Amino acid sequence: MNIRHKIGFNTAVAIVIANMIGTGVFTSLGFQVLGIESGFAILALWIVGGILALCGALTYGEISNAFPENGGEYNYLSKLYHPAIGFISGWVSVSVGFAAPIAAAAVALGHYVNKIYPDVNPVMLALIVIGGITAVHSINLKAGSLFQRVFTIVKVVCIVMFIGFGLFHVPEHHVDFTASSSAWKDIFSSGFAVSLVYVTYAYSGWNAATYISGEIEDSKKNLPRALIAGTFIVMVIYTVLNFVFLYSVPIPELKGVLEVGYLSANKIFGMQAGQFMSLVIALLLVSTISAMILAGPRVMQSMGNDIKGLRFFARSNKNNVPYVAIIFQSVIAIVLVLTSSFQSLITYVGFTLNLFTFLTVLGIFILRYKFKHVETSYKTWFYPVTPLLFLCIIGYILFHIVIDKPVESLCGLGTVLIGLIIYFLTNKKNNQNSGNISEISPSHPVD
């Protein structure tokens, strides 16, 4: 199939950054300080989350290099394990993986704007934003790529400006970031483990570019670079941004608050200028919604190409844009906006998605053992320490979610079970090609 427009390295990096910088960093701190009151421990949270995401990106880089097609985990798990595992991963991405964060980002955007303009209906605004961005991405990939780059650049520039002003702000309260004994006690507490759930949600999206790897120019070279560059940039931004939040707002005022950016902006800029910056933060979420609307449907498109019963998802317009999958995903997001709360989505989505990132990173060992004939131009840095560190941290997080949040965990496992049932009820097409090692042609290094 002829693709008229390819996504370049800069756009791929923009997609990673835009997917990661969303609702999590502007809302989750209020939940973290409920169990942790040490500034040092909270910054450690974001550094650990960044290292985790970076380890994942480094590992995904090699896997994506071996299997450079659209679909992300759906593509990788189908080949590394079994088509059923890949299908369930795709089902999770279709049902909650992208639609739920799109809904959460749109709801957060609506509430930020409502803080400034109380007459604005946050739910109606969320629906309008989702509908408008869906229309842009359903027409033309080139237009969607330009839209993504512009909004991501604006997002990063605004956040850097916010950080710059925040660092020069003189706080009225005492700020302590020392590594005291109580700070280390917080780091090894159960509260730290639970807070990592929110942090991993904020970092989710580091693997976004893998879903469109088949449309990235020179993907074997550019995809690993985009994953690593985008993740590292976000790690630095997140750590410094949370430093500014803690530096500008007393921890007691942050507890349980969703609009953390709104509080911080008011402290740094004053009420009127703070309201303007809060509006800017709301506009930044447009980039996040755009990135997920762009990346998610490529999973559905890949499933449609492979599975006869889902072939309608593979339909594309004359510009090779999977408009049916894009519209379907946005419809799910709209339903979630109308029926769910922001808080109810985070733990459920985090648990479900972490299950499959765990399996994918574990797959690097299968790739090295069973797919020796597949040559890659990129190898995971510091292997096997990198994937093992990722697996240990994610396993630690999943364990605590099961213990502390059993309802959300059961909902996540229920979603997986539904996907398995759908797999066995769906007519499969060319299933053997997805799981047969001998039919996967070797990849060649790129200079």
Residue 147, pLDDT score: 67
- Asked if residue 394 is part of any domain, the answer here is yes
- Burial grade of 416 (CB within 10 A; 0-12, 13-18, 19 or more): middle
Mean pLDDT lowest among 52-56, 148-152, 306-310: 148-152
176-214 pLDDT, tens per residue?
788 888 888 888 877 787 788 788 878 877 776 666 666
Give strand ranges (E) for 79-125.
none
88-106 pLDDT, tens per residue?
888 887 777 788 888 888 8
- Reduce the DSSP state of residue 185 to 3 states and report it: helix
Structure tokens at 409: 């965990």
Biggest CA pair distance of the chain: 66
- Asked if residue 66 is part of any domain, the answer here is yes
12-39 pLDDT, tens per residue?
887 788 777 766 777 778 878 887 888 8
Structure tokens at 340: 């769910």
3-state secondary structure 243-307: HHHHHHCCHHHHCCCCCHHHHHHHHHHCHHHHHHHHHHHHHHHHHHHHHHHHHCHHHHHHHHHHC
- Reduce the DSSP state of residue 325 to 3 states and report it: helix
More confident residue, 116 or 369: 369
- Asked if residue 430 is part of any domain, the answer here is no
- Asked if residue 4 is part of any domain, the answer here is no
Confidence grade of residue 392 (pLDDT, cut at 50, 70, 90): very high
- Asked if residue 445 is part of any domain, the answer here is no
pTM, entire model: 0.73
DSSP 94: I
Burial code (b: 16+ CB inside 10 Å, e: under 16) for 270-290 equals eeeebbebbbbbbbbbbbbbb
Count other C-beta atoms under 10 Å from residue 234's C-beta. 27
Domain that includes residue 202, residue range? 9-425
Residue 151, domain CATH: 1.20.1740.10
Total structural domains within the chain: 1
Rounded Cα gap, residues 71 and 323, in angstroms = 16
Beta bridge partners of 7: 216
> Are the C-beta atoms of residues 210 and 5 closer than 8 Å to each other?
no
- Asked if residue 2 is part of any domain, the answer here is no
29-86 pLDDT, tens per residue?
887 888 788 888 889 999 998 889 889 888 888 888 888 776 678 888 988 998 889 8
- Asked if residue 13 is part of any domain, the answer here is yes
234-285 pLDDT, tens per residue?
888 898 989 989 888 888 888 877 778 888 888 888 877 777 777 777 777 7
Q: Please provide the DSSP assignment of 20-89 as one string.
A: HSSHHHHHTHHHHTTT---HHHHHHHHHHHHHHHHHHHHHHHHHHHHS-STTTHHHHHHHHT-HHHHHHH
181 Cα distance to chain centroid: 33
- Asked if residue 21 is part of any domain, the answer here is yes
